[in-house]
Amino acid sequence: MHYASFVSPEGTPSWGIVEDAKVYDLGPGGLDLAPTLSDAVREGIFGTVSRDQFAAAPAVDEADVRFLPPVTKPEKIICIGVNYRSHQEETGKVEQKAPTVFTRFADTQMGHLAPALMPASTTQFDYEGEMALVISHDAWQVPKEEAFDYVAGYGAYNDFSVRDWQRNASQWIPGKNFPGTGAFGPYLVPASDIEDLDSMVLQTRVNGEVRQQAALGDLYFSIPELIEYVTGFTKLSAGDVIVTGTPGGVGLFMEPQGLLSEGDVVEVEITGLGVLRNTVQRSE
């Protein structure tokens, strides 16, 4: 099932299930199962709602809601850099001994169809199509053999990057934390709904042109390895997000460069997780 966080036509933030272009409200404006999708994850409700149950909820057309990031206020967003061999090769960062890790702040995120805000201070705005996972419950020093027990669900992510700010120094955080640059959504799909994670394909398109494409099985550090590594140094809580890395094909390393301009439409599609779409807008 496709779960989503959204703002209703009446302006009420809520969450629910999307099916056949209808949004069934399970939050405060509907069945009131939990205040937010994050609370639903924390309380063990996420992924357990039956079709008969959500069909009884009030519904509106998907086109009439404003999508929010599925998890609107995670305590931690941990991002992984250069985690596909194709991206390692184009960046020259090959044979890593451990994952490259940086943080993204929750207030930089936006949802499906929201504008991707290109800062006025840059001419190097880039896309990074990725898959994100959401943690199901408190996780600390999790062995990789148990890692999938800590995954609530998966969604598409676009880690829009301000390359000149990112490359000013060895730390990437400035280039990854401008407002309106962390696109997440449109849906969060329960891990229990995924039959073969490795065969799922991630594709990023700019104005319809395919720029990135890879199977999730091509991750250099696997999801269990990432969870083991990240929880080895920080405690994660229900609703926290790990963004797992981007394949080769980012605009910076194309010849000629394929960096983004105002008006470009960027889509990240992952098998079974939907299409995340954002249009680049120059911020003031």
Tens digits of residue pLDDT in 121-139: 999 999 999 999 999 999 9
pLDDT, residue 94, reads 65
Question: Does 74 sit behind a cis peptide bond, omega within 30 degrees of 0 on the bond before it?
Answer: no
Residue 92 pLDDT grade (very low, low, confident, very high; cuts 50, 70, 90):
low
Sign of CA dihedral 115, 131, 102, 166: negative
Query: Domains along the chain?
Result: 2-66 (no CATH), 77-282 (3.90.850.10)
pLDDT above 90 (res 173): yes
Q: pTM for the whole thing?
A: 0.96
Contacts of 140-148 with CB under 8 Å at 24 or more apart are 140/231, 140/235, 140/236, 141/231, 141/232, 142/227, 142/228, 142/231, 143/228, 144/222, 144/224, 144/225, 144/227, 144/228, 145/224, 147/223, 147/224, 147/225, 147/226, 147/227, 147/228, 148/191, 148/223, 148/224
pLDDT, residue 169, reads 80
pLDDT above 90 (res 214): yes
Strand partners, 204: 212, 268
User: Chain-wide mean pLDDT for the chain?
Assistant: 95
Angle (nearest 5°) at CA 221 between 76 and 167: 65
Angle (nearest 5°) at CA 83 between 187 and 266: 45
Query: Pick from 75, 112, 70, 103: which is nearest to 243 by CA?
Result: 103
H or E element, residue 229: helix 223-230
- Asked whether the beta carbons of 247 and 202 are under 8 A apart, the reply is yes
| pLDDT tens digits, 14-35 | 999 999 999 999 999 899 999 9
